[in-house]
């Protein structure tokens, strides 16, 4: 019964109880091809054997012990993250919002200590950084702040992808710039080529910290381990979560040592953050991404998917644009497609629609070409059924 749940989600009328690879099953045994992955979370597919094994084995030994003690699995996962990103120090938490909250706190702490309190953060229109009060303040979409006043101050929002507007917004109060390499939640918006590199340069010229939110774009989703790598725009602080442990709730913030130094024992903490059970899932996930060359798979299958969608665009003029990188793909329609998630349930496919006219496709990165063909076919059928 849903009557005991707080009414915060508009849920689809299906209960999923089992998953394998790119497929999930509902309580009645009906199968669905999963083009959502729990919103870019289960990148290795559902119940990946390496992750299941790691979590099961760890569950037999120790779930939790607190950061009052050394946690070897945390040290191991931090090393894996750093080896696949840049030289830095890692803080573990339990979600994307928490990782961004930690990034905002670290940035402020650094700016208060080393930049005479110039701690204002410039963030972007159309961004999404989470649902805590500070992260909705950094989120450049008014609907997420609606009714939650007083909203924390210290943020300024500028248009995404616009270098001149960004430079104009910088003043003596500014300490950092925070953005997603590709905006996910608002509809898979890819900024102009060279933008990230220019933002990095602006940060260097003005002595600002670059905070990249790779919560959705990280962990091979875009066809690079992290999306900043497309332009070599190494951030000073970076956050990740979603796919980091393939569905186990783990978030992380990594910062270059000169910034990370601003946190000392007691500055920030999390009871659950980095517990052995969560870390075992993260270690298995990153190890598998590396071992199975998932970055390359994401890139290849992403091109295959976008090619199929481009072909669909030829026969369905309601499709305006197909865009994305790797397996983070957005399809713009000139008409309302808000029935697609329900239509998809009928066909046996999970689909996510943003703002009633953008189809966001973020399937597991292990999806096969055959499965992508099936997805395209089902989307084609749904379009035809709707007279589109």
Q: Does 241 bind ligand PLP (CB under 6 A)?
A: yes
Minimum CB–partner distance for residue 350 and ligand PLP (Å):
17
Q: 68 CB contacts (<8 Å, ≥6 apart)?
A: none
**Residue matched to tokens 């601003």:** 262
Is 128 among the catalytic positions? yes
Cα 228 to its chain centre, rounded Å, is 13
Q: Which two tokens stand for residue 99?
A: 């990782």
Hey, how many other C-beta atoms are within 10 angstroms of the C-beta on 345?
Answer: 17
Q: Is 263 in the site for ligand PLP (CB under 6 A)?
A: no
User: Does residue number 231 form part of the binding site for ligand PLP (CB under 6 A)?
Assistant: no
Q: Any residues with CB less than 8 A from the CB of 243 and at least 6 apart, and which?
A: 37, 40, 41, 42, 43, 218, 219, 220, 221, 285
The catalytic residue among 115, 120, 242, 256 is 242
User: In this chain, which stretch among 25-33, 89-97, 142-150, 271-279 interacts with ligand PLP, using CB under 6 A?
Assistant: 89-97
Q: For residues 119 and 98, give the distance between their C-alpha atoms in angstroms, rounded to a whole number.
A: 19
Given the complex with ligand PLP, which of 213 and 343 has the nearer CB atom?
Answer: 213
95 contributes a contact to ligand PLP by CB under 6 A: yes
91 scored as a contact of ligand PLP (CB under 6 A) = no
- Is 245 a binding residue for ligand PLP by CB under 6 A? The answer is no
Residue 185 binds ligand PLP (CB under 6 A): yes
Element (H, E) at 53: helix 49-61
Q: Is 215 in the site for ligand PLP (CB under 6 A)?
A: yes
If one asks whether residue 129 binds ligand PLP (CB under 6 A), the answer comes out as yes
**Contacting residue, 34, 180, 234, 343, with ligand PLP by CB under 6 A:** 180
Query: Contact at 8 Å (CB) between 57 and 265?
Result: no
| Count of residues in contact with ligand PLP, rule CB under 6 A | 15
d(CA 150, CA 230): 38
SS3 328: strand
Find the radius of gyration of the CA atoms of the chain: 21
Residue 100 Cβ vs ligand PLP, minimum distance, rounded to whole Å = 6
Residue 248's SS3 state is strand
242 among known catalytic residues: yes
Dihedral pair phi/psi, residue 344, rounded to 5°: -60, -40
Member of 213, 231, 234, 343 binding ligand PLP (CB under 6 A): 213
From candidates 88, 130, 274, 282, binder to ligand PLP by CB under 6 A? 130
Q: Which stretch binds ligand PLP (CB under 6 A): 27-35, 91-99, 144-152, 269-277?
A: 91-99
| Sites of contact with ligand PLP (CB under 6 A) | 95-97, 100, 128-130, 180, 184-185, 213, 215-216, 241-242
Residues with a known catalytic role:
128, 213, 242
């Amino acid at each position: 019964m849903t009557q005991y749940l707080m009414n915060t989600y508009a849920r689809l009328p299906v209960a999923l109880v089992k998953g394998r690879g790119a497929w999930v099953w509902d309580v009645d045994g009906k199968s669905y091809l999963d083009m959502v992955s729990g919103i870019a979370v289960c990148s290795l597919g559902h119940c990946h054997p390496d992750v299941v094994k790691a979590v099961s084995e760890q569950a037999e030994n120790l779930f939790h012990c607190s950061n009052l003690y050394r946690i070897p699995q945390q040290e191991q996962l931090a090393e894996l993250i750093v080896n696949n990103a840049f030289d830095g120090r890692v803080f573990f938490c339990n979600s994307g919002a928490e990782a961004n909250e930690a990034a905002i706190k670290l940035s402020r702490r650094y700016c208060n200590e080393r930049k005479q309190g110039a701690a204002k953060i410039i963030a972007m229109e159309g961004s999404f950084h989470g649902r805590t009060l500070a992260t909705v303040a950094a989120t450049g979409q008014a609907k997420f702040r609606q009714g939650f006043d007083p909203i924390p101050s210290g943020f300024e929002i500028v248009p995404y992808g616009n270098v001149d507007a960004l430079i104009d917004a910088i003043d003596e109060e500014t300490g950092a710039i925070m953005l997603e390499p590709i905006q996910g939640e608002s509809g898979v918006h890819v900024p102009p080529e060279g933008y990230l590199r220019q933002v990095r340069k602006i940060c260097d010229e003005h002595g600002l910290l670059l905070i990249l939110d790779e919560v959705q774009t990280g962990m091979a989703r875009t066809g690079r381990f992290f999306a900043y790598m497309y332009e070599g725009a190494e951030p000073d602080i970076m956050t990740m979560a979603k796919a980091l442990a393939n569905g186990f709730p783990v978030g992380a913030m990594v910062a270059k040592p000169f910034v990370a130094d601003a946190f000392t024992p007691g500055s920030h903490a999390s009871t659950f953050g980095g517990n052995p059970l969560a870390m075992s899932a993260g270690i298995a996930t990153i190890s598998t991404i590396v071992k199975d060359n998932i970055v390359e798979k994401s890139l290849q299958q992403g091109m295959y998917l976008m090619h199929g969608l481009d072909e669909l665009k030829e026969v369905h003029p309601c499709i305006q644009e197909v865009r994305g990188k790797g397996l983070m793909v957005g399809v713009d329609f000139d008409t309302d497609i808000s029935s697609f998630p329900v239509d998809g349930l009928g066909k046996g496919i999970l689909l996510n629609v943003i703002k009633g006219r953008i189809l966001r496709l973020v399937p597991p990165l292990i999806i096969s070409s055959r499965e992508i063909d099936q997805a395209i076919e089902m989307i084609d059928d749904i379009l035809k059924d709707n007279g589109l």
